Amino acid sequence: MPAAVVPALLSRGGSGAFVLSSAFSRRRSPALPAAALYPFARPLSALLFPSRPCGRRDLQIRCMASSPEETASSSGGTILAVEEGAAAAPLAADPAREAAGLLDIRVGRVLRAWRHPEAESLFVEEVDVGEAEPRTICSGLDARVLVLANLKPRNMRGIKSNGMLLAASDEAHEKVELLVAQEGTVPGERVWFGAEDDKDRQPEPATPNQVQKKKIWESVQAQLKTNEEYVAVLGELPMLTSQGPVVCASLKNARIS
């Protein structure tokens, strides 16, 4: 913003809009063009509407020269009105995405695996999920994994399992493939759904008791699948890590559990 503009005063207009008023400190000047103020709209909107995710604010910006009477009695000014757009349709709530944000799904690395002594179809795995000690998890597969970490432990044929591995499968559940993170992803990194900049907007994971009581996993799992590019998605939102999307090897449009 030009140096002629002194720090602004933020107030709420009569219509409920937030108004940024700037006075000119050196000399009488015409109103700033709207284009000159556009770069300030995003940081200003983040200040005004902190509870709404970036990229989802519908802002209207208007610049108005002061009236002749105001110009005669003051040093001139420019008003930037930033208001939540009334013309745009409100964003629809997405219960599945909100529930998915409460799941603690992490990248894991299998340290060792062995056959379950009491069940031929199960493996017992020690999985590094970024904690002080590896987790013991019982599953039907041993490989690099995605771990649903905020489930209550449960006994599986005498061995306590502390999580669930996520995999894609066909309709008959005859072909099963683990979901895998891109190479270079650090064990323990929590995945998210959406765009790259949604990573820092994840809520805190729900507790295992909350996941069980509110059936959070069940509500999310119903909308999990792989798409045509083998990417794990929640509806249309990709499952991401800092290294890129989570994928399976070859199953398209497959259910995830």
Same domain? For 189 and 125 the reply is: yes
Which CATH number goes with the domain that contains 121?
A: 2.40.50.140
Residues 202 and 166 in one domain: yes
Please check whether residue 89 lies inside any domain of the structure: no
pLDDT in tens, 205-228: 999 999 999 999 999 999 999 999
Is residue 18 one of the residues assigned to a domain?
yes
pLDDT value at 229 more than 90: yes
Helix (H) or strand (E) holding 218: helix 216-221
Same domain, yes or no: 63 and 154 = no
Are 132 and 250 within one domain? yes
Q: What is the mean pLDDT of residues 82-97?
A: 62
State the Cα–Cα distance between residues 106 and 241, nearest whole angstrom: 9
Last residue of a domain, one of 84, 107, 134: 84
Q: Cα–chain-centroid distance for residue 199?
A: 5
Range(s) of the domain holding residue 59: 9-84
Which of 32, 50, 84 lies at the terminal end of a domain, its last residue? 84
Amino acid 116: pLDDT = 87
pTM over 0.75: no
pLDDT digits (tens, 9 = 90+) for 104-163: 988 888 888 788 888 877 888 888 999 999 999 888 765 567 999 999 999 988 888 889
Residues 136 and 77 both lie in one domain: no
The reply to whether 248 and 130 lie within a common domain is: yes
Q: What is the mean pLDDT of residues 10-37?
A: 41
In the three-class reduction of DSSP (H, G, I as helix; E, B as strand; rest coil), residue 107 is classed as strand
* pLDDT for 167 beyond 80: yes
**CB proximity list for 147: less than 8 A, separation 6 or greater:** 105, 106, 107, 108, 127, 129, 135, 137, 163, 164, 165, 166
Tell which of 27, 60, 84 closes a domain. Answer: 84
Structural domains counted in the chain:
2
Asked if residue 9 has pLDDT above 60, the reply is no
Instruction: Give the model's pLDDT for residue 227.
Output: 96
